[in-house]
Amino acid sequence: MSLRTYGVAALQSKLAVALLLGWATFAQAEPVEIVALGDSLTAGYGLPREDGFVPQMQAWLRARGHDVTVVNAGVSGDTTAGGLSRVDWSLADSTDGMIVTLGGNDLLRGIDPTNSRANLEGILKVAAARNLPVLLVGLRAPENYGPQFKTSFDAIYPELANQYGTLYFPEFFQGLTEGDRRPEDVRAYMQADGIHPNAEGVMRIVAAMGPSVEALIEQVQD
């Protein structure tokens, strides 16, 4: 090999290494994309856009060093049936994981928990077919629906999470109810309708749920 040929080969080799390193850097720079499939609690009903659940969760995660985009796929008034009907087109090729927060409107309408379970299971089947990690966020039925309804509804989320191997966060409002807070303390974090959290309430919800979303990001990156 002549000196000139060796020099060209060395240059080509260095160029190939530089391209590979550049591609690796580009690949590492790709943000994680999480779709939050839900209802008005996810959509940010009654709040300025930046105070809603999705923008606050994204800001919380980014403040902790996660290169993540959280996509707002919340539709006010949506039931689990509505979520199932649109889950396919809510997910893109770029979607890396999904947060599922549905069931509140099923409760408000007194929908049979058997139907709610079937719809949520359908959503998890779509995620499984796409090999998408999921964080399933639960809700608890109030006592006034009766013990049988409450037992059936409350069991949906942990049982499905176990069946489909998803991550599980027991209660969307956990950040408002944990500790020894009295009912009047919780009301301070709610909007006037008593159903949707205000901006400070969302902040507390995000702080409680955030570590579970970090666990979802870890699953995506594994």
* Residue positions annotated with a catalytic role: 40, 193, 196
3-state secondary structure the chain: CCHHHHHHHHHHHHHHHHHHHHHHHHHHHCCEEEEEEECHHHHCCCCCHHHCHHHHHHHHHHHCCCCEEEEEEECCCCCHHHHHHHHHHHCCCCCCEEEEECCHHHHHHCCCHHHHHHHHHHHHHHHHHCCCCEEEECCCCCHHHCHHHHHHHHHHHHHHHHHHCCEEECCCCHHHHCCCCCHHHHHCCECCCCCCECHHHHHHHHHHHHHHHHHHHHHHHC
CA distance 146 to 165: 30
- Sole residue written with tokens 């949707």: 196
